[in-house]
Structure 1
């Protein structure tokens, strides 16, 4: 008999997937909204502050529009979306008749001469060229370059005869299919700026890839940006027509693409200096003098360079570092079980929630995977279930189905919790001055064993093989460190001191070696962190400065009345000429607007923690975010914060007090922004299709 869960899953046909769901008024039941147990700061080693200055209360990320992140490239340029125009086509006109010598390295002179003659005389005779000695990529380039020179005057395709490969060049036949050929002379790599709202970087890549009909792994980026924020970053893809990036992504409301350029080199993971942040802290309760002292201290003295809570996932039932430990120990089945574990925070009505339930009850990975619909290509659980279905009980091979960068995040999460705990011990034990046996880097190389993760741990990700040319990692350089002697202490400051992230190729400071040994021992690991048979799960280690610094910090105080109004403008707002939010001198609430730059892999939430002296966990922040209607106890979201008693308060009328559904005027505006004028949109899309270039055929 078919299980209830499987029956529900089977209802989702391909056709129904895109139909607008009908609201069932009769069977509608109110949902209970609550936060479950989440990892706390102290549990991941975040415990110390640099100063004893008075902090202040305020809400971090009350709305995702309160947090803006813009990438800073290696030259120091900040990513800003300034235009969404399709670049003017710069066609390179080549007079093939004037080219006596073959301009293509892999094309012999005699073949070049025959092709020119065929085109010139409109001969119907084809030109056959033995390419058995050429690699596939070389053959592909040959097709592209010949087509780039002769355009639609020639067709080419690869055939195989008697075990040999030949390229056939011939005049196109009437009605033959044409295919776009990348213009000769233009850079192969399309670099562009991607602006997104409330999406993580990997999901954004997946959506862009879906509408442009390319593999997600072909899109490269320098770093991963926040999900709950408005962010701007550079991305790159090889030989994709710019009009597709601009026009085909228009229906994706949360994404805008622009500032397209062409380059000869791809964008690689780690090709960034840092990030520029613009942050609004709401409902700040402090005198301006207190705010000023706190901010200026961080501006002058920096902050403890902790890894933020985002590094460790949101759920205490299966934090990411626990999965990392299982991978490091080679406990493959236990790692899989943790990834697929049913948690209180899972939505039982979601794709993933249903699939997890089926797997927990039946251990049938194929059945659980087939239950997935929308999540089949863009979540960790789906990839793992697919791998288990294919590999059966071979757990290590099944894990390989999860993209390598995602698996590395689990390992780095474990390194991060150990590092956090060690830096807290170092500061409590020795203070804020260099001491004997502290470590400093001596070769000016600061490339951490990371993959460009900023501010958010990735729960959704892109699909794709781990192809180095399409998804390159940071080029790692070995850092060299030395232990300080007593005579050298005066030459260095606390800002020079580093601590190691555990690995087989790091030096541990003698003044903390026992602490590292004890902490690693809790997880069944040793200081040596021996290499594993599976290379992916072997960590060489790296070093990280114990204090971070803030660059170009600016701030202001602002009063406001409506908690739903934006307090800072995004790139896209500026592009649309949205009016700058104004200070209301007699406003009911106070906000602090901050703007600053941080190095890559440094957490803005740790800067805010040092300024405000507050707990940055979502559990703590959500308690502060009902300030506009404090008397309505029924509207408060319940939070479990390590207590034994779990509160479950239902939101009044099924809605938060500040929900857009409670504001008729805003709801109408929202509906217009979603649905708009469908006739006008259809006409625009038809006009866009007319503008798209024709295609020429090329085969291999």
Structure 2
């Protein structure tokens, strides 16, 4: 089931006829720099590691320092005792002394065990003033409840303990406008999900407490924004102080958290090593890419690694063959660790999930381990539940990969038959139609900053609406014959198949059916009986142009030395320019460009180079270099650092970490 070539996932066509050339993509993770582009159009960079203090709370409208006159001193002490702010020994003796007759005072016994409430008489207090008292008490004693009640012809504010919270906990009140700490996450050779999980684990935070706009490449040096609610910068900085591959900085405070899709795109700086191309041929290739663009394919990393073809698992799920899907996930592969191979062999021979799971007791929490755990808990034949129990982004990954395969296949056929021609019945975003009607041909501020503009629209993955076929609210418009003459191929979108997708009103709609039927799948099966795998669909630009591509060439002798200066290098004053030579053994081409959030840099490079981007092919190019150059990098002092390489070339994370961003990304700004 290994992915051998691009054609196996529908990547077959090119749109230009310039000469291609050979070069190695991602020979080292330091050859691939990614910087997020925020919704404000600014490129996210790590420029400061300085830790800033938490925001100063704005003063409440109710003064919590001044005790209201309606609350007596004795009542205040009892409230502190009830809330846990004060112990019984700290309470003034006078609080428990009552006057009898004359000058006789008797110490009142106090039953701490049955002390459950404090009553404050408010017979002569107005409703407005009682509201003020309630606000004061809630602010001063956040672990207590207070309610106004009538008792024995009198009115009281009755204060009691909250259930399950008998001890006093001081709550830090952050200003609403600064409630979310936002910081730059800089990482090296680790994917976003793993990096975020490490931070959450160090801080003992629950899953999904840290949020981000999109997932970045693993085999790269990347910078992106992350947000978390009411966590001090010092805590995060301290937690990551000894972690070499993760750095945090540029701390700010915002009123809202980040969500998936809250970005315009990404900026890429990429080294193409050991380039075999004449300058004139390269200039022609760049000109073609700028003018014609590239086919906006879902890249190879979308479809898993050599040991896990995610789209084939997705096909099995859509067909209802969950046993087949499980068997593919748990199929042994030579790249597996010793313990993983042992566990998979146990499953293969005995179908004993419990024994297989125990074998992985000390292993990391991989997809396979989670599947074994679910099978052991819910039954070795409960294949549906075992996949459903995976994290949502993982369980949906397989179906999304199959959707992407169909999209790639249909678009390849379209380009092969019609080239860059716009057809009657094609789809465009309604915004694009209005823009043309209004005669607004100028670029927006965001388009100029990122160089291109995309509008990928997310339709909910799981649809609860009764009328799933209602597409009147679709964001796309069908072009008439006359309208088709007014639009460019870069404005045409094709649907990623789903139950909410609207299809073109031309022959390309039939191609969707043809490719689905080859796999014995119909449109109806996309409305999966298992809700988890019921996907809505989305729309995707067919062609993307890159007018902002910049490049330069250099040479190098030592393939272990970095040629790009990362954000961390800038902070640490590490100069890599001396590694770029005017003459040397090997030629390198360094390219810099920006893409919208849903596009793959490797697919742009594919069109530029006319080269296969599958991991197997890139590995074959790497075989011409030494093992040292493939598997290690160097630190600031030139000392070699072992890389955790993945297929020695194009990233091949079997979780397909960028699927959330690509399938669920919001529309680009226009």
Q: How high is the TM-score relative to the length of structure 1?
A: 0.71
Given that residues 328 and 538 in structure 1 are in contact (C-alpha distance below 8 angstroms), is that contact kept between their aligned partners in structure 2? no
1:410 paired residue number: 398
Q: Which has the larger radius of gyration?
A: 2
1:396 paired residue number: 384
User: How far apart, CA to CA, are the structure 1 residues paired with 2:175 and 2:312?
Assistant: 51
Given that residues 148 and 183 in structure 1 are in contact (C-alpha distance below 8 angstroms), is that contact kept between their aligned partners in structure 2? no
The residue matched to 2:502 in structure 1 has which SS?
coil
Q: 362, 368, 377: which one pairs with 1:381?
A: 368
| 1:400 Cα deviation from its structure 2 partner | 2.2
Task: Confirm whether residue 57 of structure 1 aligns to residue 52 of structure 2.
Answer: no
**Residues 661, 206 of structure 1: alpha-carbon distance in 2 compared, 3 angstrom cutoff:** closer
| 1:178 Cα deviation from its structure 2 partner | 7.0
Q: 501, 504, 512: which one pairs with 1:506?
A: 501
Task: Confirm whether residue 614 of structure 1 aligns to residue 579 of structure 2.
Answer: no
2:39 paired residue number: 74
1:333 paired residue number: 323
User: How far apart, CA to CA, are the structure 1 residues paired with 2:503 and 2:413?
Assistant: 14
User: How far apart, CA to CA, are the structure 1 residues paired with 2:77 and 2:176?
Assistant: 20
Given that residues 39 and 309 in structure 1 are in contact (C-alpha distance below 8 angstroms), is that contact kept between their aligned partners in structure 2? no
| 1:501 Cα deviation from its structure 2 partner | 1.2
Q: 217, 225, 229: which one pairs with 2:220?
A: 229
Given that residues 54 and 233 in structure 2 are in contact (C-alpha distance below 8 angstroms), is that contact kept between their aligned partners in structure 1? no
| 1:450 Cα deviation from its structure 2 partner | 8.2
1:91 paired residue number: 56
Task: Confirm whether residue 523 of structure 1 aligns to residue 514 of structure 2.
Answer: no
Task: Confirm whether residue 436 of structure 1 aligns to residue 459 of structure 2.
Answer: no
Task: Confirm whether residue 345 of structure 1 aligns to residue 335 of structure 2.
Answer: yes
**Residues 423, 179 of structure 1: alpha-carbon distance in 2 compared, 3 angstrom cutoff:** same
1:10 paired residue number: none
C-alpha RMSD of matched pairs (Å): 3.8
1:358 paired residue number: 346
**Residues 39, 311 of structure 1: alpha-carbon distance in 2 compared, 3 angstrom cutoff:** farther
**Residues 572, 450 of structure 1: alpha-carbon distance in 2 compared, 3 angstrom cutoff:** farther
Q: How high is the TM-score relative to the length of structure 2?
A: 0.74
2:587 paired residue number: 590
| 1:318 Cα deviation from its structure 2 partner | 4.1
**Residues 666, 540 of structure 1: alpha-carbon distance in 2 compared, 3 angstrom cutoff:** closer
2:282 paired residue number: 291
Q: 292, 297, 304: which one pairs with 1:301?
A: 292
Given that residues 41 and 617 in structure 1 are in contact (C-alpha distance below 8 angstroms), is that contact kept between their aligned partners in structure 2? yes
Q: Within 5 Å, which residues of 2 pair with 1:94-243?
A: 94=59, 98=63, 128=117, 156=143, 167-168=160-161, 181-183=172-174, 187-243=178-234
User: How far apart, CA to CA, are the structure 2 residues paired with 1:223 and 1:298?
Assistant: 26
Given that residues 561 and 633 in structure 2 are in contact (C-alpha distance below 8 angstroms), is that contact kept between their aligned partners in structure 1? no
User: How far apart, CA to CA, are the structure 2 residues paired with 1:97 and 1:286?
Assistant: 72
Aligned residues: 552
Given that residues 37 and 43 in structure 2 are in contact (C-alpha distance below 8 angstroms), is that contact kept between their aligned partners in structure 1? yes
Q: 441, 446, 456: which one pairs with 2:455?
A: 446
The residue matched to 1:216 in structure 2 has which SS?
coil
User: How far apart, CA to CA, are the structure 1 residues paired with 2:198 and 2:386?
Assistant: 25
The residue matched to 1:532 in structure 2 has which SS?
coil
The residue matched to 1:344 in structure 2 has which SS?
coil
2:481 paired residue number: 486
**Residues 423, 183 of structure 1: alpha-carbon distance in 2 compared, 3 angstrom cutoff:** closer
| 1:222 Cα deviation from its structure 2 partner | 1.0
**Residues 521, 252 of structure 1: alpha-carbon distance in 2 compared, 3 angstrom cutoff:** same
| 1:614 Cα deviation from its structure 2 partner | 0.8
Structure 1: gaps (5+ residues): 1-35, 104-108, 131-144, 160-164, 453-465, 467-475, 630-654, 672-700
**Residues 216, 54 of structure 1: alpha-carbon distance in 2 compared, 3 angstrom cutoff:** same
Given that residues 96 and 149 in structure 1 are in contact (C-alpha distance below 8 angstroms), is that contact kept between their aligned partners in structure 2? no
2:107 paired residue number: none
Given that residues 67 and 280 in structure 1 are in contact (C-alpha distance below 8 angstroms), is that contact kept between their aligned partners in structure 2? yes
| 1:187 Cα deviation from its structure 2 partner | 2.7
**Residues 111, 522 of structure 1: alpha-carbon distance in 2 compared, 3 angstrom cutoff:** farther
User: How far apart, CA to CA, are the structure 2 residues paired with 1:540 and 1:44?
Assistant: 21
**Residues 89, 238 of structure 1: alpha-carbon distance in 2 compared, 3 angstrom cutoff:** closer
Given that residues 208 and 245 in structure 1 are in contact (C-alpha distance below 8 angstroms), is that contact kept between their aligned partners in structure 2? yes
User: How far apart, CA to CA, are the structure 2 residues paired with 1:314 and 1:498?
Assistant: 28
**Residues 511, 95 of structure 1: alpha-carbon distance in 2 compared, 3 angstrom cutoff:** closer
The residue matched to 2:611 in structure 1 has which SS?
coil
The residue matched to 2:485 in structure 1 has which SS?
helix
Given that residues 303 and 309 in structure 2 are in contact (C-alpha distance below 8 angstroms), is that contact kept between their aligned partners in structure 1? yes
1:645 paired residue number: none
User: How far apart, CA to CA, are the structure 2 residues paired with 1:111 and 1:507?
Assistant: 69
Given that residues 283 and 627 in structure 1 are in contact (C-alpha distance below 8 angstroms), is that contact kept between their aligned partners in structure 2? no
| 1:177 Cα deviation from its structure 2 partner | 8.7
| 1:526 Cα deviation from its structure 2 partner | 1.2
| 1:403 Cα deviation from its structure 2 partner | 0.8
1:420 paired residue number: 408
| 1:481 Cα deviation from its structure 2 partner | 2.6
The residue matched to 1:552 in structure 2 has which SS?
coil
**Residues 116, 274 of structure 1: alpha-carbon distance in 2 compared, 3 angstrom cutoff:** farther
